[in-house]
Structure 1
Amino acid sequence: MPTGFGSKLVIAISSRALFNLDDSHQVYISDGLDAYSHYQIEHEGDVLAPGDAFPMVQKLLRINDKLDGEPRVEVILLSRNSADTGLRVFNSIEHYGLQITRAAFCGGASPYRYVGAFGCHLFLSTEGEDVRNALDHGIAAATLMPSNNDQQQGDELRFAFDGDAVLFSDEAEQIYKTQGLKAFAESERAAAKTPLSGGPFKAFLAALQGLQHEFADQSCPIRTALVTARSAPAHERVIRTLRAWNIRIDESLFLGGLDKGEFLKAYGADVFFDDQPSHCLSAKEHVATGHVPHGVANEPAPQS
């Protein structure tokens, strides 16, 4: 990470994840880049409505107000806009009082290559290709899915994570996909005391825990949950893995294949990360959801 950010938690977010740019994006789709550019400049005084990631970003930045000294959270805007067309985005950032001062406007090119240069722990975007590129370069990333859920109120920020292929590697999931549930359960029982390898979100979870340690237990504004389709006996390896990593999860839900949506709603997640597209489709009806296109569940089906 660049030394200028020290021990900050650094989040990169695309303009379409932070704000609702559906109208201008439709201009781009239907009429092309020149029309889009004219539209953005003509409307640069019009404040953009919040996007799906906006409430989470607000809560993240409020954490800085709760700590003395230097800010501990940095949010960076990464955009395919040019600086010219992106002025509307920065005007909206100023309108909402968001403390976002760093940005990369890439003039139509993918901004993912700046995620590593900024030393980001997490990249959120609506562009699946950018997300996959970031994941391929070892950075936690997710594609935010459109959602009509109600925004979570209050200042507490609640993250929820799937296990395999998100927090953990997909080594166990590969057995499930290729050999079935029985083989998976037997393998996990046999390997219960062998920690799983880390998945793409391990470093982000560790960085979150570092931020949590800045607060007393009763006043911490961040809460984490593992929400997994696993059940006993496959739970033991997960618990021992987190213990080996010296990472604490506030809540752990072992659902044994039950639909995750209602549980995420009950937990009050601000955002949920999962590698399985079907789980994401269910979850987004209740909470903001990021698809993590990583692991065996996202590999192309074999050609027959």
Structure 2
Amino acid sequence: MAYDLTDKLVIGISSRALFDLELENGIYQTEGVAAYSAYQRAHEDEPLAPGTAFPLVRALLELNAAIPSRRLVEVVVISRNSPDTGLRAFNAIEASKLDITRAAFTGGESIARYLQAFKVDLFLSRDASDVQAAIDGGVAAAQLYDVPPTYQAPAKQIRIAFDGDAVLFSAESERIYKQKGLEAFTRHEQKNRHKAMTEGPFAKLLLRLAEIQQHFPPRQCPVRIAIVTARNSPAHTRVIHTLRAWNVAIDEAFFLGGLPKDQILQAFGAHMFFDDQEYHVELAATVVPSGRVPYKGGQLIFDKSLTRSVQGTQSKAPPMPTAKGEAVVAASKPPKKGKPAPK
């Protein structure tokens, strides 16, 4: 009987998200494919340092030992490397004692069409175009930033933190805030406080993680989930009612009302944090592994309220002004750190 992935949490990951391949990527960018391939062959038996997603992947794979009768998690390397250069990643996986046995090496071709074939629930990469293609194809995906140099992963629990709007939930409310301002956003959320929000790109991943949590006693669950959102009262009410409608119990929630998220995330000890706004991801990435979630279609959400004075504490993130005086949520700009992965 063929192996079935439908009842498992499937993580698709690029080799550069799993391991630190920034030196190798630099060779590819500056010297080309031939030099990159030669370097990978010459060093294919040398170990690789962990990449941004390594702690999360290791911790998720360890869940399989918790319930020997049922495998909960599968990780698949999905990379633009060629089969030849991809050998180094497999060697590093073996040396790191990671229980990963499946991979797809596309030799420079787009990986997006293979994500559904592998039933991927979450795709992690350093490459902006691959992440965008995954989101456009309906797969939860994030572009990872550099791992914080002093980061220490939690030892006893898998801790994952999510932003709310445009990540777990749709971008509808975010768009109202950006285009019409805080007062319109607040009125909309109060009017719809008992109406569940539409699912965002990471909603299905949240539901899958909630299913895994059901396999463990509440106080012994190795997976802990938090929402870290710029919403505050009264906009928090709709978040709770949405989670109830989805039959999901979040372990922790932080309604920050525009406060920076980095100190909360550091205290929470996240293995990974997902947010749609570059402002928040750059800050979070200084303390915990973080990934930016692009908008479907690469769409931009413009903030027209910057032309008027807004008094009081905002309940969403500080806007990012552009040269024209507008503010925009970056949708396709890659992180300042990190370049496209080898094709």
Note whether the superposition's TM-score is higher than 0.5.
yes
Q: Which runs of 5+ in 2 are unaligned?
A: 304-321, 325-343
Are the counterparts in 2 of residues 168 and 199 from structure 1 also a CA contact under 8 Å? yes
The answer to whether structure 1 residue 241 and structure 2 residue 239 are counterparts is no
Between the aligned partners of 1:109 and 1:295, the Cα distance in structure 2 is: 21
Question: What is the Cα deviation at residue 147 of structure 1?
Answer: 2.8
Between the aligned partners of 2:219 and 2:173, the Cα distance in structure 1 is: 35
Question: What is the Cα deviation at residue 295 of structure 1?
Answer: 6.1
Between the aligned partners of 1:134 and 1:30, the Cα distance in structure 2 is: 27
Map 1:27-176 to 2 at 5 A.
27-148=27-148, 149-176=150-177
Are the counterparts in 2 of residues 276 and 298 from structure 1 also a CA contact under 8 Å? no
Distance 1:75 1:228, change over 3 A: same
The answer to whether structure 1 residue 191 and structure 2 residue 192 are counterparts is yes
Amino acid corresponding to residue 295 of structure 2 in structure 1:
H
Give the secondary structure class of the aligned counterpart of 2:216. coil
Partner of 2:312: none
Question: What is the Cα deviation at residue 28 of structure 1?
Answer: 0.8
Percent of matched pairs sharing the same residue: 49
1:60-93 per-residue CA deviation (whole Å, 9 max, x = no partner) reads 0000011121311000000111111111110000
Between the aligned partners of 2:188 and 2:70, the Cα distance in structure 1 is: 47
Question: What is the Cα deviation at residue 107 of structure 1?
Answer: 0.6
Question: What is the Cα deviation at residue 301 of structure 1?
Answer: 6.0
Moved more, 141-150 or 130-139: 141-150
Question: What is the Cα deviation at residue 297 of structure 1?
Answer: 9.5
Give the secondary structure class of the aligned counterpart of 1:113. helix
Give the secondary structure class of the aligned counterpart of 2:135. helix
Coordinate RMSD, CA, aligned: 1.8
Distance 1:258 1:242, change over 3 A: same
Question: What is the Cα deviation at residue 6 of structure 1?
Answer: 3.8
Between the aligned partners of 1:155 and 1:38, the Cα distance in structure 2 is: 41
Are the counterparts in 1 of residues 28 and 36 from structure 2 also a CA contact under 8 Å? yes
1:250-281 per-residue CA deviation (whole Å, 9 max, x = no partner) reads 00100000000000001111100000110101
Give the secondary structure class of the aligned counterpart of 1:97. coil
Normalised to the residue count of structure 2, the TM-score between the two structures is 0.85
Between the aligned partners of 1:13 and 1:119, the Cα distance in structure 2 is: 13
The answer to whether structure 1 residue 204 and structure 2 residue 205 are counterparts is yes
Give the secondary structure class of the aligned counterpart of 2:167. coil
Partner of 2:262: 261
Partner of 2:339: none
Question: What is the Cα deviation at residue 109 of structure 1?
Answer: 1.6
Give the secondary structure class of the aligned counterpart of 2:50. coil
Distance 1:32 1:168, change over 3 A: same
Moved more, 258-267 or 152-161: 152-161
Give the secondary structure class of the aligned counterpart of 2:83. coil
Between the aligned partners of 1:276 and 1:120, the Cα distance in structure 2 is: 23
